[in-house]
Chain A
Amino acid sequence: GAVVSQHPSRVICKSGTSVKIECRSLDFQATTMFWYRQFPKKSLMLMATSNEGSKATYEQGVEKDKFLINHASLTLSTLTVTSAHPEDSSFYICSAIPQSSYEQYFGPGTRLTVT
């Protein structure tokens, strides 16, 4: 149980385009999901907290207009990287908290490469 998926697993896009990453909780409902990014050989950095039906809460230094988060249902949150640049290339990981639980379950990650 408590499986989280991400789609796509890898994506390559051209500079200036936008790319959407989906995070789904497959066997539970999640009112709260989180988005992280991770650079090579570095730790995970929390980008934002995504709450179903309300606006996401962004961490300091994360541009909300660049990283659009939508949490339209209890099983799906999306992260859209707008006007992507090569420096946005990173490993993006989501996590979800089941209702009546506190543990975060992580997705497998999405490798974004901007050329």
Chain B
Amino acid sequence: DAKTTQPPSMDCAEGRAANLPCNHSTISGNEYVYWYRQIHSQGPQYIIHGLKNNETNEMASLIITEDRKSSTLILPHATLRDTAVYYCIVRGATSGTYKYIFGTGTRLKVLA
């Protein structure tokens, strides 16, 4: 079973920030939080990952709560091309625990 839960869908106005939450209350101390997105009929695309600290890259920011039981992916200025299914995944840090178990994801629709 997936270790994460996400809302099934969200809408966001174009140009506004999209905040996508993820609950991972059973995360272990050495497990990472990864975010991917999947645009229709394509393979998932890596967005960002983190362990404890907040992370930012050219695509997004990742905010992880202090107790690490939840996180939020932030797309600062959503565009229509950001419409996709966003997956939050918890991944182990040791050999044999690298596999991803995908949850249901959040279907983000960016509205013009």
> Are A and B a genuine interacting pair, yes or no?
yes
Binding site for B on A (CB under 8 A): 4, 6, 32, 34, 36, 43-46, 49, 91, 93, 95, 97, 102-109, 111
A109's contact among B34, B41, B103, by CB below 8 Å, is which? B41
- Supposing A32-B98, A102-B98 touch, asked if A43 and B103 sit within 8 A by C-beta, the answer is yes
Closest to B91 in A: A102
* Residues of chain B contacted by A104 (CB below 8 angstroms): 46, 98, 100
Nearest 5 pairs between A and B by C-beta? A106-B43, A44-B102, A43-B102, A106-B44, A108-B43
Contact partners of A43 in chain B: CB under 8 A: 87, 102-105
Which residues of chain B from 57 to 106 have a CB within 8 Å of any chain A CB? Answer: 87, 91, 93, 98-105
Contact A106 B98 (CB under 8 A): no
Distance of A105 Cα from B49 Cα, bound (Å): 13
Q: Which residues of B contact A111 (CB under 8 A)?
A: 41
The SS class assigned to the B binding surface is: loop
Nearest chain B CB to A109 CB, angstrom units: 5
CA distance A19 to B46 in the complex (A): 29
By a CB distance below 8 angstroms, the chain A residues around B34 are 103
Which residues of A are found within 8 Å of B100, using beta-carbon distances?
34, 44, 46, 95, 104
Q: Report how far A91 CA is from B44 CA in the complex, Å.
A: 12
User: In the complex, what distance in Å separates the CA atom of A32 from the CA atom of B91?
Assistant: 15
Whether A93 contacts B43 by the Cβ 8 Å rule is yes
Give Cα distance in the complex from A107 to B43, angstroms.
6
Across the interface, do B102 and A108 meet the contact criterion of CB distance under 8 Å? no
| Listed A/B pairs (10) with beta-carbon separation below 8 Å | A36-B102, A44-B44, A46-B100, A46-B101, A93-B43, A102-B98, A106-B44, A107-B43, A108-B42, A109-B43
Chain B residues with CB under 8 A of A91: 41
In the complex, the chain A residue whose C-beta lies closest to that of B97 is A102
Find out whether the CB atom of A46 lies under 8 angstroms from the CB atom of B99: yes
Q: Do residues B46 and A105 form an inter-chain contact, with CB atoms below 8 A?
A: yes
